[in-house]
């Protein structure tokens, strides 16, 4: 019926069967956080349960490292679940009669790991989420946020390649939820797991996702980065979600940067610097000394210096200047933009890799072009 063009509603009306996932095709790379975002009934939880074989698709395939778990033997499916995939649930799913460490070690017990090694690996996982001191407590002695961290530790203890997270933070208070999001991102920086994260909250998707799939009626409406979704929503449905989004937390300095024009300290003069700024229609320009940023000069300072003492470029250098990286979110650029100088984008070695004109920050937040 789907292949003949019948809609989800028409199929339900005729058959009483619901189309959970309709013609969804996607790939997730190693070490990527892939977020599936949709409202209740969009099919996102059905999709994540297909990935570990809890629900089998009526057609199509679901491949993990080349193994099609939708069309494999029960033993191959069990082995894939044991060795490659772990799931973190929305409502913690902890055993109330087991201690925290025993809850975390449960997946290892299922895998046949010995008691001593189970406890050691469970304690390592608890340390990763900051709960090692609570190893011998029981779940009801912990807060909701702590219980969710136990669930996360249980997933990590089995050392899976893939973590499936089905709305894991939606039952938490807003402040605790934000803490858990930050904690997951911090863990991901060191563990680099492949994570498929399900949520109904677009803000959460934008914070966590390397890429985000917007799901509606069992289909993917748009798959893109957070910046692409906010900047260029695929349709009115996606646009409605993004209209109230805080753009300053989605866009980064890299999205409003321009190539860095810089002068070499040993070669430039006050006159040549002023001439170059006139050509570029800029009020300030950076000066480098080899790979190092020596500082910035402004047209006004050089003009005054030239008028007063003949103009020496080095004497007009501003050595305290605003810097950021390409990944710095826009809201962190507000105080830097107040200096009036272009913000220098630097790499880890402090080399100049681009600049952000202060006006570009506010143009992007207003929904305009960076050069506006």
- Which of 172, 170, 175, 173 is CA-nearest to residue 202? 170
pLDDT of residue 310: 65
pLDDT of residue 309: 66
Task: Give the DSSP letter string of 53-93.
Answer: TSS--SSS--EETTEEGGGS-HHHHHHHHHHTEEEE-TT--
How many CA atoms lie within 13 Å of 263's alpha carbon, on the beta-carbon side?
Answer: 25
pLDDT of residue 371: 39
What is 253-365's CATH superfamily? Answer: CBS-domain (3.10.580.10)
- Which of 28, 15, 103, 96 is CA-nearest to residue 62? 28
Cα separation, 164 vs 166, in Å, equals 6
**CATH among 3.30.70.270, 3.10.129.10, 3.40.50.300, 3.30.70.20 for 40-209:** 3.40.50.300
Cα separation, 75 vs 202, in Å, equals 37
Per-residue pLDDT 10s for the chain (372 aa) are 888 888 888 998 999 998 889 989 999 999 999 999 998 889 998 999 999 888 988 888 899 988 999 888 999 998 888 888 988 887 778 899 999 999 999 988 888 889 999 999 999 999 988 899 999 999 999 988 889 889 889 988 888 899 999 988 887 888 888 888 888 898 898 889 999 999 998 889 988 999 999 999 899 999 999 999 998 999 999 998 888 888 888 889 998 999 988 999 989 999 999 999 999 999 999 999 998 999 999 999 999 888 766 668 888 899 999 999 998 999 999 899 888 899 999 998 899 999 999 888 888 877 654 433
In residues, how long is the chain? Answer: 372
Residue spans per domain, the chain? 40-209, 253-365
């Amino acid at each position: 019926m789907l292949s003949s063009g019948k809609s989800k509603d028409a199929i339900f009306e005729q058959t009483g069967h619901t189309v959970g996932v309709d013609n969804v095709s996607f790939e997730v790379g190693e070490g990527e956080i892939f977020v599936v975002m949709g409202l209740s009934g969009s099919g996102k939880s059905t999709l994540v349960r297909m990935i570990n074989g809890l629900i089998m698709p009526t057609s199509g395939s679901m491949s993990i490292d080349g193994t099609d778990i939708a069309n494999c033997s029960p033993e191959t499916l069990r082995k894939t679940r044991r060795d490659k995939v772990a799931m973190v649930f929305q409502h913690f799913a902890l055993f109330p009669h087991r201690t925290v460490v025993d809850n975390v070690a449960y997946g290892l017990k299922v895998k046949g790991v010995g008691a001593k090694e189970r406890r050691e690996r469970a304690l390592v996982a608890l340390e990763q989420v900051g709960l090692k001191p609570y190893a011998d407590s029981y779940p009801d002695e912990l807060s909701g946020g702590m219980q969710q961290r136990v669930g996360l530790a249980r997933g990590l203890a089995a050392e899976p390649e893939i973590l499936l997270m089905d709305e894991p933070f939606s039952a938490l208070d807003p402040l605790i939820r934000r803490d858990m999001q930050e904690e997951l991102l911090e863990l991901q920086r060191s563990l680099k797991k492949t994570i498929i994260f399900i949520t109904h909250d677009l803000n959460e998707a934008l914070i966590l996702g390397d890429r985000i799939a917007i799901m509606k009626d069992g289909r993917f409406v748009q798959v893109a980065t957070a910046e692409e979704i906010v900047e260029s929503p695929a349709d009115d449905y996606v646009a409605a979600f993004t209209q109230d989004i805080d753009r300053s937390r989605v866009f980064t300095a890299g999205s409003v940067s321009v190539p860095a024009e810089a002068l070499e300290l040993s070669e430039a003069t006050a006159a040549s610097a002023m001439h170059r700024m006139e050509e570029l229609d800029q009020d300030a320009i950076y000066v480098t000394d080899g790979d190092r940023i020596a500082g910035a000069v402004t047209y006004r300072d050089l003009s005054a210096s030239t008028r007063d003492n003949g103009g020496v470029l080095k004497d007009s250098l501003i050595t305290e200047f605003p810097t950021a990286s390409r990944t710095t979110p826009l809201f962190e650029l507000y105080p830097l933009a107040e200096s009036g100088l272009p913000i220098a984008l630097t790499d880890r070695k402090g080399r100049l890799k681009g600049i952000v004109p202060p006006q570009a920050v506010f143009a992007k937040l207003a929904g305009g072009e960076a050069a506006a």
